[in-house]
Amino acid sequence: SEIVLCPDFVSLYPIVQMFKTIDINIGAQNCSEHINGSFTGHVSAQSIHKVGCTYSIIGHSERRKNNHETDDMVADKMSHLLDYYVSPIVCIGETRDEYGSGSTLKILEKQLNPIFDAISKRATTSSGLSVNIAYEPIWSIGTGKIPAIEHLNTIFAWIREKAHRVNKNIKWNFLYGGSADSSNIDDLKHVGGCNGFLLGKSSTDFQEFKKVVHSLS
């Protein structure tokens, strides 16, 4: 199994140095949709690569909501990350209202289409890179409410089928994010087609994080 830690930007360089001799990867929590130019406060994929990160989260629901990030912006970020040898962790997910109205797949398709369009235009991804799709139902994040396993089985089978139809030669990983912790990981790890987890709150408590890692080892 693989562990990726994603601290804030100011911690990236010292933590990359700290873990250089340990088999743990470091990722950023976001990157800019621009690769260069006058964009004060942005951190480019090139900078994330140069600091030593091998992963970057993009499209997190908080950024989509609070920073008005669009699906096309997230796709641009992904392309830049792949250009600079950083594996993207692309977050997708629906709100409670969208889930309640049965619109989950419609919302996920809208979020994924620009990602898949960008992938289909690429000849290849760089050797060893993965494209990681993290399904994080927004209504589940931080609430302790977990979707039914049958629902997750359906979602992951649907995402996997669409991704492999776009490019079956890419190393795709499919992650679940949303209130995953030591109390439910034994159930969640049996979700079909799920390769791993994007942990939020449970990653900030070392003992809790340790329990999750041990359960998945």
Alpha helices in the chain (DSSP H): 9-18, 45-51, 61-66, 71-83, 96-100, 104-120, 149-166, 185-188, 206-216
- Residues 6+ away with beta carbon under 8 Å from 6: 26, 27, 28, 29, 55, 56, 57, 89
Instruction: Indicate the pairing of strand 25-28 with strand 55-58.
Output: parallel
d(CA 196, CA 136) in angstroms, rounded, equals 12
CA 103 to chain centre: 21
Alpha-carbon span 32 to 68, nearest angstrom: 13
Separation in Å, CA 111 to CA 62, 168, 207: 15, 20, 34
Distance of alpha carbon 205 from alpha carbon 8, whole angstroms:
16
Q: Which residues are annotated as catalytic? A: 60, 136
- Sheet architecture: strand order including 55-58: 4-5, 25-28, 55-58, 87-92, 130-135, 171-177, 196-198
